[in-house]
Amino acid sequence: MPIYNKLVRDRIPEIIEKTGKNFTTRILDNGEYIKELKTKSFEELNEYINAEDDKDAVEELADLLEIIHALAECHGANIEQVEQVRQEKAEKRGGFKNKIYLIEVEDE
C-alpha cells in the first residue's frame, strides 16, 4: 500500500472510496494544516515551474490559487481581502506587466 502522508483536496477520500480501495486519513490541527498548506504550495509551484504547456500551467496556477484561498482563511482573511492588498501594492509599487528586469543600481 503506497504511503502518501500529504494534504489532499477534500473530495479525494470520496474519490478513492468509489474505487473500492481502503485508505487511512486524519484531520490536521490548525498548526499542522498551515504547515502542510505551505508544503503543498511548494509542490504545486514546482509543478507549475515544470509545466510543459499553457494548459498545464493554468491547471497548476489554479491549484496554487486554491492553496492561497485556504491560507488566507487560516490567517483570518478571505480572497477579496488578499486581492485588495494586492491592488494596493500594485498601485504603490506597480505590477509585473511591463516585464522590467533590474540589472543594477549604483551605490552612492
SS3 labels along 4-66: CCCCCCCCHHHHHHHCCCCCCCCCCCHHHHHHHHHHHHHHHHHHHHCCCCHHHHHHHHHHHHH
Other C-beta atoms closer than 10 Å to the C-beta of 59 total 14
Residue carrying C-alpha cell 509542490: 43
Mean pLDDT of 11-25: 96
Tracing cell 472510496 back to the chain, one arrives at 17
The answer on pLDDT for 1 being more than 90 is no
- DSSP single-letter state for residue 83: H
Percent of the chain with pLDDT over 70: 100
Contacts for 59 with CB less than 8 Å, ≥ 6 apart = 51
At residue 108, the pLDDT reads 84
Q: Could you give the percent of the chain with pLDDT greater than 90? A: 97
Taking alpha carbons only, the member of 43, 47, 70, 69 closest to residue 57 is 47
* Contact assessment for residue 23 and residue 16, using Cβ atoms and an 8 Å cutoff: yes
Q: Is the pLDDT of residue 20 over 90?
A: yes
Q: What is the pLDDT of residues 63-99, one digit of tens each?
A: 999 999 999 999 999 999 999 999 999 999 999 999 9
Q: How confident is the model at residue 26 (pLDDT cuts 50, 70, 90)?
A: very high
